[in-house]
Amino acid sequence: MNRLIDHARHLPTPDAALTVAYTPIRLPMPGRTPLELRLTAPASGTDLPVVLLSHGFGPSKYIPSKDGYAPLAQFWAERGLAVIQPTHASSRVAGLGPDLPGAPFFWRERVAEMRAILDQLDEVERQAPALTGRLDHGRIAVAGHSFGGHSCSLLLGARLNGEDFSDPRISAGVLLATPGRGGADLTPDNAARFPFFHLDFSSIQTPTLVVCGAEDEPHFTPRGPEWHADVFHDAPGAEALLTIAGVGHGLGGIAGLDAKETETEDPDALEATRRLTLAWLREKFGMGSDDWTKGRAALKGSAAAAGSLVLKGQPGE
């Protein structure tokens, strides 16, 4: 029981169960050092759905890696999901060298890393003996925060200059404070620095939940917090827009409390983010729960102060 939450307490979620974690799992990557992962999953059960969690490009020198985002990854794993976290090429402490092609953002390499995990799920299980044969390779979602949302947007179907990066093995996505439209929506300096932000979200057909902080202050654009909701408005597959009240880019602390990425430590906002994203994922994975339906109802009543939810095609939700 978390004594620091209030409104989020009214959002239903399963009880936590024992988990097991393996790290570092190492996967070969052509022409470079191995990709390192953390796998956190329930200690029991079979046919576990898989979530690939992609970290952002935040300022701290240890959190944006396979070892970050514990408040989110651990919460999901304690409630039935197997969560795989790569240390992307762009990680400041354990990524690829700053002089290599694609540095420092390695946006294309990040997508390749996520796809490599999908290609080598059998090898992931081999290196995690307690999970061997227990992962459901047919139920896979991606979730990404900030720049991780950019990586996941591409895997979900967003296109850059007409190029298609989508992967049909992915059946759902959660985009957390993901970058919005690029090009003319950015400041001139940022448009020049981040040409790869100019995504076409209109080709995303995969079911997607978009999560934003109501007080986010994106420094890439002269626009406000609504910039991070662009994918909801542009992507046919984006089903829901969840806006968490009172917090900005860190959504209350998903990267880790006391991390530089967490501009506002807000346990209630963090808990709302965790519970509602989990409820949505469990519904998409067909895990037999009505927590998403009950959570939507609570956001109109007892949990209204936690945030707001808009469902595409249903104004007022």
Decide if pLDDT at 315 tops 60. no
- Are 11 and 75 within 8 A, CB to CB? no
Average pLDDT over residues 47-57: 95
- Are 228 and 234 within 8 A, CB to CB? no
Question: Quick count: other Cβ atoms within 10 Å of Cβ 167?
Answer: 18
Average pLDDT over residues 149-178: 98
Average pLDDT, the chain: 94
Residue 316's pLDDT is: 46
Q: Where does residue 127 rank: exposed (0-12), middle (13-18), buried (19+ CB within 10 A)?
A: middle
Q: Residue 111: what residue type?
A: V
Query: Which one is predicted more confidently, 260 or 117?
Result: 117
Q: Residue 14: what residue type?
A: P
- Are 136 and 124 within 8 A, CB to CB? no
Query: Which one is predicted more confidently, 263 or 229?
Result: 229
Residue 179's pLDDT is: 98
Decide if pLDDT at 131 tops 80. yes
- Read off the pLDDT of residues 91-121 as tens digits, 9 standing for 90 and up: 888 888 888 899 899 999 999 999 999 999 9
Look up the pTM and report it: 0.96
Residues 6+ apart with CB under 8 A from 55: 63, 64, 65, 66, 68, 69, 85, 86, 87, 88, 91, 144, 145, 147, 148, 255
Residue 92's pLDDT is: 82
Decide if pLDDT at 62 tops 80. no
Helix (H, G, I), strand (E, B) or coil at 25: strand
Of 71, 86, 115, whose CA–CA distance to 23 is shortest?
86
Residue 195's pLDDT is: 97
Superfamily of domain 7-311, CATH level 4: Alpha/Beta hydrolase fold, catalytic domain (3.40.50.1820)
- Read off the pLDDT of residues 214-249 as tens digits, 9 standing for 90 and up: 999 999 999 999 999 999 999 999 999 999 999 999
- Are 58 and 260 within 8 A, CB to CB? yes
Residue 317's pLDDT is: 40
Residue 2's pLDDT is: 80
Question: DSSP E strands: which ranges in 48-112?
Answer: 48-54, 82-86
